[in-house]
Chains A and B, each alone.
Chain A
Amino acid sequence: QITLKESGPTLVKPTQTLTLTCTFSGFSLSTSGVGVGWIRQPPGKALEWLALIYWDDDERYSPSLKSRLTITEDTSKNQVVLTMTNMDPVDTATYFCARMYGYRYDYWGQGTLVTVSS
């Protein structure tokens, strides 16, 4: 059974750095073709793709947010970490992690709501 779960702070202040962790089970990030990505959804708005890391450590980022994002993996812990710098209230959103396989996100976490406010 494949599961993913997001964890991290629910509230961050403007200009702070957000660190989110995706803890997964039921698959290995060492398996060829597998990746773990992050997607967010601001309240009442659409899904927005953020970043992705592949089994071979290849990293991909949304061009509009690339300067603020870093995605890393800890294969031994089955975790993928996303950091986003210089947080702003417009970054308030539910952040999802999901497994990517063959350019499709086939398993998702429930998401974690992050509010940016002073």
Chain B
Amino acid sequence: QSALTQPASVSGSPGQSITISCTGSGSDIGSYALVSWYQHHPGKAPKLIIFDVSQRPSGVSNRFSGSKSGNTASLTISGLQAEDEADYYCCSYAGTSTYVIFGGGTKVTVL
């Protein structure tokens, strides 16, 4: 099964809002409310920022929000800050055969 589809890059100015899409299929995102999002600064450990489509772990800024419609999940970062510049990956449960599938990653640039 192919990776979930994300835009390669998204950019925005400080204070703006950006949205990253993550498109899958009816076998993964479309069938399960089990989408998670990870922030990854190269050279560091990835960080969970959204789970179960729209839930934020304790300690994660409320500037991060998640949603899902059909086969597409989305991550919105509001009030963009310089520290948000990183790679972002979506991930979905994909059933008992494929199990877990990641997106191709999106590089967020703060202009």
A interface residues with partner B (beta carbon < 8 Å): 37, 39, 46-49, 52, 60-63, 96, 98, 102-106, 108-111
How many angstroms between the C-alpha atoms of A49 and B91 in the bound complex?
A: 9
Residues from chain A with Cβ under 8 Å of B45 in the complex: 96, 108-111
CB distance from A103 to the nearest CB of B (A): 4
Report which of B1, B3, B38, B100 forms a contact with A52, defined as CB distance below 8 A: B100
How many angstroms between the C-alpha atoms of A110 and B46 in the bound complex?
A: 8
CB distance from B73 to the nearest CB of A (A): 13
User: Closest chain B residue to A111 by CB distance?
Assistant: B45
Question: How large, as a class, is the contact surface on chain B?
Answer: 20 to 34
Residues from chain B with Cβ under 8 Å of A111 in the complex: 45
Contacting pair B1 A105 (CB below 8 A): no
User: Closest chain B residue to A110 by CB distance?
Assistant: B45
Contacting pair A104 B52 (CB below 8 A): yes
Contacting pair B36 A46 (CB below 8 A): no
CB distance from B25 to the nearest CB of A (A): 15
Identify 18 residue pairs between A and B in the complex whose beta-carbon atoms are under 8 Å apart, listed by A's number.
A39-B102, A47-B105, A48-B102, A49-B100, A52-B100, A60-B99, A60-B100, A62-B100, A103-B36, A103-B52, A104-B34, A104-B48, A105-B38, A105-B48, A105-B91, A106-B51, A110-B45, A111-B45
